Structures are given as C-alpha cells and as structure tokens.
Structure 1
Amino acid sequence: MFRSKSDIFAFIETHHAQAGVSALCRRYLVTTAGFYAWSRRGESDHAKQDRVLSKEIERLFALHRERYGSPRIHHQLATAGWRVSRRRVARLMQAAGMRAKAVQGYRAKASIHQRYARHPNRLWNTSVTKPDQVWVGDITYLKVAATWWYLAIVMDQYSRRILAWTLTRQRTAAVTCAVLAQAVRMRPARGVIFHSDRGSEYMGAPFCAQVAQFGFAQSASVRGPGDNAHAESFFHSLKAELTRGISFATESSLRRQLDEYMLYYNTVRVHSSLNYLSPLAFERRAT
C-alpha cells in the first residue's frame, strides 16, 4: 500500500485530524517519534504531491457518490491534466479507505445455448456498430417500505443509454408495451432488433404484436443469466450505486432518486467499455 515510511508519514500528516497521530502510527506500525522527526525534516516533494493528489481524489470520489473506483478516478484525473499512474491512484485510495460501491459481475452459462424457433437470439449473429441497431429490455424489482415495485427499462445496447423506464406495482405485458412505446416516442426508429429475456411480459401476444407494429425484429435470450448481459449489468450497477443499504419509505422518494440516477448514468457516468465516455457522449461521437 505504501512504498516507504515517508509515504506513511505523509498519509498520517494528511489524516491525523480525523483519527489522531498515535492511532494512525499504531495502525501502520510506525512510531510517533519517527513521525515527529519526519515532520521536523519536512516532507519530500513526492509526499507533497501525494497529499495534494489525495485531496483531489477525495473530491472526485465524493462528487460521484463513492461510485467510482481507481480506473474511473484515474481517467477523470488524466482528463483534467494530471500526470499520474493508475497504480498510484489505487494506492492512495486504498490508504484513505476509499472503496467504490461494489458491483458483482454476471457470468453467462455456456452450457445453455439452445435455439428457440419463434424468437431466436438474433444477437448471436449481430455485430452492434451504431445506435438504434439493438435495443434491450428487462425488468427488476426494487423495494419500497414492505412492498416490491418493478422497474422496466429500454436500453440502446451500442451506447448503454437508457432510452425509457417506468416504475410500477405490476409486472405485465402492459408495462413492457408502455415503456417500449415511450422509447419509440423519444427515438423513432425502424428495423431495430429488440432483445429481452423470455418472460411472459415479453413473449406474450400483446408485446409481440407491438414489436411487429413498430417494425422491429424480436430477439430473446436463452434460459439463463448473462444472455441479456447489458441490461443485467445496468441493474447491478443501479442497485450497488443507488439502492443497496438504503430504505425508501415512499414510491415518490424512490422515483425521485431514479430520475436523478438515470440522468447521471446517461450524461455523466463514464464506462470503461465506452472508452471512458458517458452513453450520451459516446453516441455523439458516433454520429
């Protein structure tokens, strides 16, 4: 974590107001006498840079509400003109106890690739190279007080942009039809592949008829996690960064937080898979 005792002493100098010199010295196995001797000598240029850099890292970490780990923080610093390695950023974040809200990844099951005649998985043979080529839809559950609510989304797979979403008490074809219609109103398009899982709200006659009415080709995943990975990844991020550990007393309070998060996700939050751009910035670069 630290390359030298000087790095430890510099860290203690920065954080001793919160935790105390003695406690920090015990934690990092150095002596208080050594710390005060170092203080009288003055810190090195490298330690001074670490102290300034740590404050900027803390600012960015707080700005993004503890959602960014060292790769994204490093990218933000580099964009702002800082010349610093990712390893150094990771070291300073670890030393300060800054750890991004975790998102556990999904892993596809390779043994369940089966084809279905009516709605095949069209993504297996599709290379996604532009917006409005593939949209994906999915539903997850969120808790309000003691009641489960359902969040349905439509996402552009190319840019990861959330095109439409709705929060409802029911999980029906009427809900998926409504959120798809909302996405089409926002971005009229033809010839889109719409991909989802095989839940009844997507495979039922009302939704299939609407997909055909919009001139879309319907695609469906195999039976198992991971085959609708972009939507699943978004839900994991949302739950890790917004709802985990938080209790929502009312539907309106959850809806306000979702409004804010969707705007943040589309316009601010950078994605490593999008060359550290936000979905909106990535789309603009492609057009």
Structure 2
Amino acid sequence: MTRGRGKRLSPDFKARVALEAAKGHKTASEIAQEFQVHPTQISQWKRQLLDNVPELFESTAARARRTPSAEEVAAPLYEEIGRLKVELDFLKKKSSPAQGVGRWLIETEHTELSIRRQCELIGLPRSQYYYAPASETPENLALMRQIDKQYLRTPFFGSRQMTHWLQRQGYRVNRKRIQRLMRLMALQAIAPGPHTSRPHPAHAVYPYRLRGLAIEHSCQVWCADITYIPMRRGFMYLMAVLDWFSRYVVSWRLSNTLDTGFCVEALDAALDQGQPLIFNTDQGAQFTSTEWIERLKAWDILISMDGRGRALDNVFVERLWRTLKYEDIYLRGYDSPTALERGLGSYIDFYNTERPHTALDQRTPAEVHWDHMPET
C-alpha cells in the first residue's frame, strides 16, 4: 500500500529519507519499510536532493561574500520564534501529524513518559505508531530472482511468456503481478514491437553507429547498461561501462534507485581512465537524459543507441550480466548493499585481471585492453 497517501510530509522528513537513499547503505525496499513511504517517492526525493545540492553550496558561498545587515541577523531569530510558536500551537491542539512522521518523535527509552503519554502529547494514534508497513514479500523477492534468472536465458520473454513459464514451474501467479515485478526490475522483452525500449518522451534518440563497423582496438567503442541485482532482502541496480573490444569493465556503480545520477558518476569515473570514440547504450531514460548526453558531447564522443527491438546491439554487456550473476551474485546471495559493493569489487577485479576469456584467446580483459590501446 502507499505510505502517507493524502498526508502532508514535512520537508525535514523528506530530506531524511533522501539522505538515507543517497548513502546507498540500504535498498529501496528497506528504506520504504523503515520510513513507511513508497519506493517511488524515495527515488523522487533522492533525485531532488542531488539536483539541489550545487544550488545550496552556491547560495551559501554567496552569503559568505557579503556582510549581513542587522535585519538579516535578526531574521533567523524571528523565524525561530515563529517556528516554536507554531510547534507549541500544534502540541496544544494535538493535531495528528502526517503518517510516518510523528512516530519518529517517540522516545522508546524515555524514563518518565510512557509511549502512550508521548503519543497523546503529539496527537499520534498508538495504532499508527505500532503500524509496520509491508515491503516486497519474501515470495515476491523469490519470484523476482526466478524472473531474473530466466530473463538471462530468454531475454525475449515478455510478461505474458514469463507468466506462462512460471506457471509451468508450479508458481500460482497471474500476468498482472508479473508485469508489476518486471517493471520494478526494469526488465523488458528484447523483441520487435512498439514497447521494447522507452526513452523519455522529451529526450532525443541517436542512431545506432556500430552496424558494419570494424572494431580493432580498445577505447574505440564503449557501451553501458543497467541491470537488476537480487539480494536476500530487497535489490539494487548496477550500472557498468564496458570496453567493446576487450570486454574490460572500465567502471561501475551501484544504486538503490533507478536514477540518472549513479550512471553519470560511473561515466565520469570511466572518462578519468580514457576516452572512447563512440559510446553505445540502449534508449533508456538514463542514457537519453540531458546530463548524460551533455557529458558525452563535452568530450566529443559520438553517441550511438540500440535500435528498438535489437537483441544483439549491446550483446557484450548482456553477456557480462549473465557471467557476473551466475558466477557471483546467485552463488553468494549478498544480504546488504555494503557487502554487495565489496563483493562486486572483488569479482569485477577478478573478471578484469584473472578470468581468461575464450573470445580473447584465453587472455584476460585487462591484458587485451592495455595491449591494444591506441597511440596518442
């Protein structure tokens, strides 16, 4: 159910949720359960926080460059007095606070006031304080894990075929439920059709530039993609930048929300190591966003995007996901984002520097990548 629907959530509460999401120490499901909000709200507030941070520091620097007047010095004091008066009136009236906010004012270890009395003072129904919202059930998380495994084998399965396959495995599910879970996992069937790839309607789409192109050295073509990472409790999203020629993972980032910020961070980390001639992605909203496109243009990189329903346009990064999940993710079952980040760091280092590839004549991606760098 939606948390706090029809209620007004305070800016302070939204900031706390956004900061918790920005830390990346918990999955969106865990944050949603802790703060009693919908995962979609978490993603929106996190994006607003990250977008407004530069303006915050700019305004702080501007204020520091000038001497405040007496009125400006007194203004925060009057504002604080007004805020305290509002809070006092609120306590006198015992108005019910927004769901998911008032419960955090309760001090469970208070030595003089019981929880009952504290709830009375802030006007919070005890039933609301003790309410524990439900996140994704263990059954749904298990289903999402099976969907993810089957999608790696049959990426052309849409929700209809995935539903039939799960039913044949003995799961009692309907298509509506599988559609919701696949949307949550950001999975779509790779097959021709009107809904195979959905860029933001206001974003430009670029042509596919790799058809018939001979790729002969490292940093000629990079590609990027995002995948769903199942965990014991909740899930995360992984974005990686891959060199097309060497299969070398140039950079990667994790996020508990499906936003543009962590993709741009991975791109910046990759550009610190080199610069490709062409960058290929799918038509997802993260890769058609203004931030992503402007970054590539600033580096004079040609932009390439997969065609709609083209299953093989970004095949190498899809193979990376299959290898990573079957050789690490599914075997270890990470139980926290911190453990997942450490584990992925170890595995990707192993993948780059120790794991031989048949397609690379049993050499590692790192060997091929650095041996075939173009002369500058």
Same fold (TM over 0.5): yes
CA distance in 1, matches of 2:350, 2:242: 15
CA distance in 1, matches of 2:244, 2:294: 22
1:228 alignment counterpart: 314
Tell me the secondary structure at the aligned position of residue 277 of structure 1: coil
1:164–1:180 CA contact under 8 A, matched in 2: yes
1:268 aligns with 2:354: yes
Cα deviation for residue 267 of structure 1 reads: 0.5
Q: TM-score, normalised by structure 2?
A: 0.45
Cα deviation for residue 110 of structure 1 reads: 8.6
CA distance in 2, matches of 1:257, 1:275: 27
Cα deviation for residue 286 of structure 1 reads: 2.6
Alpha-carbon distance change, 253 to 184 in structure 1, aligned in 2, over 3 angstroms:
same
Cα deviation for residue 109 of structure 1 reads: 7.1
CA distance in 2, matches of 1:118, 1:168: 25
5+ residue gaps in structure 2?
1-151, 157-188, 194-198
Tell me the secondary structure at the aligned position of residue 247 of structure 2: coil
Letter in 2 for 1:156: D
Aligned residues: 183
| Aligned equivalent of 1:197, options 282, 288, 291 | 282
CA distance in 2, matches of 1:110, 1:126: 23
2:233–2:336 CA contact under 8 A, matched in 1: no
2:155–2:190 CA contact under 8 A, matched in 1: no
1:131 aligns with 2:218: yes
Letter in 2 for 1:218: I
Q: TM-score, normalised by structure 1?
A: 0.58
Letter in 2 for 1:154: V
5+ residue gaps in structure 1?
1-102
- Give the root-mean-square deviation of aligned CA atoms: 2.8
1:7 alignment counterpart: none
Q: Which runs of 4+ in 1 moved over 3 A?
A: 103-112
| Aligned equivalent of 1:211, options 282, 285, 296 | 296
1:141–1:149 CA contact under 8 A, matched in 2: yes
CA distance in 2, matches of 1:109, 1:151: 19
CA distance in 1, matches of 2:206, 2:240: 20
CA distance in 2, matches of 1:272, 1:252: 32
CA distance in 2, matches of 1:123, 1:192: 11
1:106–1:229 CA contact under 8 A, matched in 2: no
2:342 alignment counterpart: 256
1:121 aligns with 2:202: no
CA distance in 2, matches of 1:177, 1:283: 23
1:159 aligns with 2:246: yes
Map 1:63-74 to 2 at 5 A: none
1:181 aligns with 2:280: no
CA distance in 2, matches of 1:119, 1:105: 27
Tell me the secondary structure at the aligned position of residue 210 of structure 2: helix
1:109–1:226 CA contact under 8 A, matched in 2: no
Q: What fraction of aligned residue pairs are identical, expressed as a percent? A: 26
